[in-house]
Structure 1
Amino acid sequence: MEYKKRYDEWLNNPFFDEETKRELFAIKDDEKEIEDRFYTSLTFGTAGLRGIIGAGTNRMNRYTVSLATQGLADTIISYGQEAMNKGVAIGYDVRHYSKEFASIAAQVLTANGIKVYLFDYLRPTPELSFAIRELKTISGIMITASHNPKDYNGYKVYWKEGSQILDDIAKEILDNINKIEDYSKIKLMDIDVAIESGLLTMIGSEIDDIYLGKVKKLSLNDDIDNNIKIVYSPLNGTGNIPVRRVLKERGFTNVIVVPEQENPDADFSTVGYPNPEDIKAFKYSEALGKKENADILIATDPDCDRVACMVKDENGDFIALNGNQTGALLVNYVLESRHAQNSIPENACIVKSIVTGDLSKAIANKYDVTTIETLTGFKHICGKANEFEVTGEHTFIFGYEESIGYVYSTIVRDKDAVISSMLLAEMAAYYKKRGKTLLDVLHELYEEHGYYSEKLISIVLEGLEGKSRIERIMDSFRAKPIKTIGEINLNRTIDYLNDKTDTPPSNVLKYYLDDGSWYAVRPSGTEPKIKIYIYSKADCEVKSKEKILDIENAVIERINSIE
């Protein structure tokens, strides 16, 4: 058994440290755990690496991080001395071993003669994207697992544009990783030696000041109610300092931070699953919001690239806005404001993913703004910003996807919860001054454009068995689509893996129904999940939600029938 051979190698090879060996020895009688840790290696792809922290080839640890970094180093070296001199910016979040993994990445790169800029403390992911462009580096690394549970960490690679790598660069890095046959061949330079040699520069507040200064310039309106009361939670992540600072400097005087979730906590003790897309993450915010009679609750995920909000209704209860609703509201606010200022370019566009709702498209059409769809992930969304910067075909204004990721403008080439938190606060304050809540504005959009409903279903299927079942589910839907759901019939199917489309091949199936509803099925690229995205449109809210339920029942029935 190959996995057992790998396990024995790690356990007996003197190269691996004693802490790693103790951890592996402790599982010597757990065959299933050994198999899960060693049946494969963490796959390096366009999302970089992401996995459970621990010893093993299928885990995030100092060895898998150093291996990936050596592959990146060899790739940069292949681009020549100029690329090596431009260097790599490295950031990290609050998670266990994030600082250590960032340090290891810096040690490997500098040992290979590559310049490194390392943040001196935790920072949000979007600031790393910004730093790449500001420092004009060839690449960037962010150590983060975004909103995953506490046991996870990850390694995201960016390229010179400030956006995550696409397939071409990922393939070059993976090819170089595969050439490394022995971990002991990976080069490492001591951090102090790297600093003394001039290969390593620590980044401090200077980048913070430039970044936040440019974020504030993205403000759209000054005629707002600055006294709007906001409860903010960074969910014990990186957003605490930059989000609070930008809101304060923007003039918001009533920002109250959830005290239990203010400071870094790698265990996310108050929330467990630190994803503000999950309404349970707002438990502490809601309690504080009711106590303080807040207007709006804002929460950012641990690396502060995603943001969600809840809005107080007429009964004093807080209603959660999902990612599609928040995205549509932001698109409307941006375009409405810029239309009033006569500042929408003729070739303006918004960019959204293929599994994101269509209300924003209807809003964009109103302002003669083009909507462009990409594969899921901001590497594709901001990839369009990079493309248009070269071709001039469009001007990128706003990008978003339903999983609560948004970016306005192009100073950052990734989703940015610092920018988005400022815009959410400003948007709520703008409409409050006009006697409206964001719920009122959303209802007006539905009345104007139709009632759009949506539902995301995520089914967790972990390990080797889970991975196999996900494959069987995709095979079943691909081979035999559901033809009829109640009185709704299948109109057309797009198989993004096998059909010719405007996007790169991807394992996504999208089914358009003859009433304008649609749903999509795809495995997650970063988590052991299969996701089902369901959308409907009707002339009233009740009908729209009934259609969602009908589609959900049909799809779940199919999935449950697949062992």
Structure 2
Amino acid sequence: MSEISKSVLDKVQSWLEDPFIDEETKQELRALEQNPAELEDRFYRELEFGTGGLRGVIGAGSNRMNRYTIGRANQGFAEYILNSKKGEGRKSVVIAHDSRHFSPEFALESALVLAGNGIVAKLFPSLRPTPQLSFAVRHLNADGGIVITASHNPPEYNGYKVYNAEGGQLVPHEAEEVIAKIRDVQSFSQVKRLTQEEAEAQGLLVWLGEEVDEAFAETVAATSANRKLLEEGAAKDVVIVYTPLHGTGNLPVRRVLNKLGFTQVHIVPEQEQPDAEFSTVKSPNPEEREAFTMAIELGRRVGADILIGTDPDADRMGAVVRDKNGEYEILTGNQSGAILVNYLLSQLKATGKLPANGAVVKTIVTSEMGANIARHYGLTVFNTLTGFKYIGEKMNEFAASGEYTYVFGYEESYGYLAGNYARDKDAIVASTLIAEAAAYYKQQGKTLIDVLEELYREFGYYREALSSLTMKGKDGVAKISGLMTAWRTNPPQELNGIRVDKMLDYSLGLDGLPKENVLKFLLEDGSWFCLRPSGTEPKIKFYFAVKGTSNEDAKARLKSLQDTVLAKVEE
């Protein structure tokens, strides 16, 4: 182990000598003695608690997801909850988990540490979607929430996300308080923990049941924009293929579709059951066409109008639509968002339910198309930083002031929320609303592709793209930092002969938003691109957006912008 840096060597030794760490974990570390690079990566830092929580590769080590890093985070979160001002009596936290490796174990471990701190842990007995956790925090009047998930990351990852009493992911000032509490946990001996038997006997571990599932399903069904239309038979005419991609969406999506009268729902059988390896896909990500391969095959067999997929924790929804020629076209997050905004607002207006002070909230990297549709209906549009926690924060502001009524929020990365019942994106409501839109327009002889084309003709031909570079490990972090510094200190003046009008540096805290390491460049022709290091993965993302005079013009403009920027990145 001599090739390892001394600081890492000391950390490894401290784990091997710690009486609070089990023998199996120590054996895993001893087996790596001849692999200094792996040990260095496992211990060169503490797994970072970001605004969303923890996310990383499962394994032993301070830079890995395991019961010890989670225990330490839980101890810090418990201290935060105990110091929160809400209410009197025992504090409570709701806990859910997805279908990943060790998700049930990490969820129970979280519950036992909270119980050790005198906090009632309300635990779902099996996998549940992230948005249901957000709903349950509010429904049960809890003081916070935890969900064990790594969303659509590869199988070797898991994560730990924490929620506030409103059911939203922690925003930066809240996360900073939790991080400070976690830093105070210098040793695993400080982590307070009960056994499962002790926690249950003391009423500090409560298992949640059917009541919360039914309340969630009923609430989501109630967000229908035109339930009367569905009940009159429109729902029965639509043929749907749905894939939960081995995750948590299977039962709740089907339950709500059934409540709304959709009877022709076909589940992709190979992807129906939970599978921690996500063995039928390269990535369980409904943003990628490859994830829909099996759904498209089934769709062709049953003549499906729309294919719907949700990611493992069911907070993101992707849709694929059959066009007039019978071909299946995948919608981007921005396209689905525009369709949902238009459908929802048109139905609310038709039924006299569109609030005069209505608001739509989107992120700074989301297309302007949905925003312009919302303004067309008289709504106010708000921009937030990337991350649904900021949309949730806006919802709380509206609820407190009464100045605006939240109608819809979304982000380009396939996250949508209609209704006020949660503070996180919800693939269940997105699935049911896009199925409802398909039913409504099918009655008019239109596919969702036809609707999208109509929206382009009215509002302009918007096109967007996303590229990313993955840079793993210690060196990757430094490279991403260097890249951001280079673009910040030496921004381009023009691209392809088009002048760069403005550079927005969100690290300065623009437009009243929190400071974040994001750069957005606005070009003279109305196009823009954005550089954003991921907060949860070792990658940097590049967002591109243009508005053209036709589909062909928009596609050409987008390719030109994307190629030019990425070529400069390579330099």
TM-score range, shorter chain: over 0.9
Query: Partners in 2 of 1:471 and 1:45 — Cα distance?
Result: 17
Deviation of 1:211 after TM superposition, in Å, equals 0.8
**What is the aligned counterpart of 1:313 among 301, 323, 345?**
323
Cα distance, 1:22 vs. partner?
1.7
Whether the 8 Å CA contact 1:150–1:272 is kept in 2: the answer is no
How far does residue 282 in structure 1 lie from its aligned partner after superposition? 0.4
Give the structure 2 partner of residue 181 of structure 1.
186
CA distance in 2, matches of 1:268, 1:83: 43
Query: Does 2:358 match 1:348?
Result: yes
Secondary structure of the equivalent of 1:559?
helix
Q: State the alpha-carbon separation in 2 of the partners of residues 55 and 421 from structure 1.
A: 38
Tell me if the contact between 1:84 and 1:113 (Cα under 8 Å) persists in the aligned partners: no
1:458-482 residue CA offsets vs partner (Å, 9 max, x unmatched): 1111111111111111111111112
- Structure 1 residue aligned with 2:537, among 520, 527, 531? 527
Q: Distance in 2 between matches of 1:36 and 1:84?
A: 43
The residue aligned with 1:172 is: 177
CA-based RMSD of the aligned residues comes to 1.2
Deviations 1:370-407 (A, max 9, x none): 11000001100111001110011211100000000000
Does the aligned pair in 1 maintain the 2:416–2:425 contact within 8 Å? yes
Deviates more, 1:243-252 or 1:302-311: 243-252
Structure-2 residue corresponding to 1:3? 8
How do residues 540-551 of structure 1 correspond to structure 2 at under 5 angstroms?
Answer: 540-551=550-561
Unaligned ranges ≥5, structure 2: 1-5
- Give the letter for the 1:316 counterpart: G
CA distance in 2, matches of 1:24, 1:293: 53
- Alignment partner, residue 21 of structure 1: 26
Matched, 1:464 2:474: yes
Instruction: Indicate if the aligned counterparts of 2:50 and 2:535 stay in contact, CA closer than 8 A.
Output: no
Select the residue among 430, 442, 449 that pairs with 1:420. Answer: 430
- 1:32 is displaced (CA, Å) by 1.1
CA shift in 2, pair 1:103/1:84, >3 Å? farther
Q: Which residue of 2 aligns with 1:89?
A: 94
Please report how far the alpha carbon of residue 442 of structure 1 lies from its aligned counterpart in structure 2 after TM superposition: 0.2
For residues 482-514 of structure 1, give each alpha carbon's deviation from its aligned partner in whole angstroms, at most 9, with x where no partner exists: 221112110111100025422100011000000
Q: Report 1:145-160 matches (<5 A).
A: 145-160=150-165
Q: In the TM superposition, what are the counterparts of 1:97-176 in structure 2 within 5 Å? A: 97-176=102-181
Q: Is the 8 A contact 2:116 2:192 kept in 1?
A: yes
Please report how far the alpha carbon of residue 68 of structure 1 lies from its aligned counterpart in structure 2 after TM superposition: 0.3
In 2: Cα distance, 1:317 partner to 1:296 partner: 11
Give the corresponding residue for 2:420.
410
Matches within 5 A, 1:84-483: 85-221=90-226, 222-223=228-229, 224-483=234-493
CA contact (8 A) 1:496 1:506 kept: yes
Shift of 1:116: 1.4
Q: Relative to structure 1, is the Cα distance of residues 257 and 354 closer, same or farther in structure 2, using a 3 angstrom cutoff? A: same
**Deviation digits for residues 181-236 of structure 1 (CA, Å, limit 9, x no counterpart):** 11122111011211111122110111001111111111112322422111100000
3-state SS, counterpart of residue 325 of structure 1? helix
What whole-Å deviation, never above 9, does each CA across 1:276-314 have from its counterpart, x for those lacking one?
A: 101110011111111111111000000000000100112
Choose which of 44, 60, 76 in structure 1 pairs with 2:65: 60
Q: Residues of 1 paired with 2:85 and 2:519: CA distance?
A: 41
Q: 2:39 aligns with which of 16, 29, 34?
A: 34
Give 3-state SS (helix, strand or coil) of 1:226's partner: helix
Task: Give me the whole-angstrom Cα distance separating, in 2, the residues matched to 1:516 and 1:250.
Answer: 41
* Distance across 2 between alignment mates of 1:211 and 1:486: 50
Q: Is the 8 A contact 1:84 1:114 kept in 2?
A: no
1:428 Cα deviation after fit: 0.5
The letter of the residue matching 2:255 is R
Is this contact kept in 2: 1:76–1:84, CA < 8 A? no
> Counterparts of 2:372 and 2:86 in 1: how far apart (Å)?
48
Q: CA deviation at 1:558?
A: 1.5
Amino acid corresponding to residue 401 of structure 1 in structure 2: E
2:567 maps to 1:557: yes
CA contact (8 A) 1:455 1:535 kept: yes
Q: Distance in 2 between matches of 1:537 and 1:187?
A: 56
For 1:42 and 1:82, how far apart are their aligned partners in 2? 32
- 2:358·2:407 contact (CA, 8 Å) conserved in 1? yes
Aligned counterparts, 1:495-506, within 5 A: 495-498=505-508, 500-506=510-516
Q: Secondary structure at the match of 1:383?
A: helix
SS at match of 2:197: helix
Q: Return the letter of the residue paired with 1:343.
A: K
1:62-91 residue CA offsets vs partner (Å, 9 max, x unmatched) = 000100000011112223694661310111
Contact 1:76 1:83 in 2 (8 A): no
- Secondary structure of the 1:501 match is helix
> In the TM superposition, what is the alpha-carbon distance from 1:346 to its structure 2 partner?
1.2
Helix, strand or coil: the match of 1:69?
helix
Instruction: Tell me by how many angstroms 1:15 deviates.
Output: 2.3
Instruction: Report the Cα distance in structure 2 between the residues aligned to 1:7 and 1:356, rounded to whole angstroms.
Output: 43
SS at 1:49's partner residue?
Answer: strand
Deviates more, 1:499-508 or 1:326-335: 499-508
1:152 aligned partner, one-letter code? Y
Total equivalences in the alignment: 561
Task: State whether residues 319 and 331 of structure 2, in contact with CA within 8 Å, keep that contact through their aligned partners in structure 1.
Answer: yes
Q: Matched residues in 2 for 1:156 and 1:21: separation?
A: 27
Aligned mates of 2:84, 2:464 — CA distance in 1: 45
For 2:278 and 2:147, locate their aligned partners in 1 and report how far apart those are by CA, in whole Å: 19
Deviation at 1:543, TM superposition (A): 1.5
**2:524 alignment partner in structure 1:** 514
Closer, same or farther: CA 26–504 of 1 in aligned 2, 3 Å: same
Give the letter for the 1:374 counterpart.
T
Using the alignment, how far apart are the partners of 2:509 and 2:255 within structure 1? Answer: 47
Structure 1 gaps of 5+ residues are: none
How far, CA to CA, are the matches of 1:456 and 1:83 in structure 2? 47
Q: How many angstroms apart in 1 are the aligned matches of 2:280 and 2:540?
A: 27
Q: Which stretch of structure 1 is more off in the superposition, 243-252 or 492-501?
A: 492-501
**Could you tell me how far 1:315 is from its partner in structure 2?**
2.2
Residue number in structure 1 paired with 2:3 = none
Identity of matched residues, %:
48
The aligned residue for residue 75 of structure 1 is 80
- Say whether the 8 Å CA contact 2:81–2:91 is kept in structure 1: no
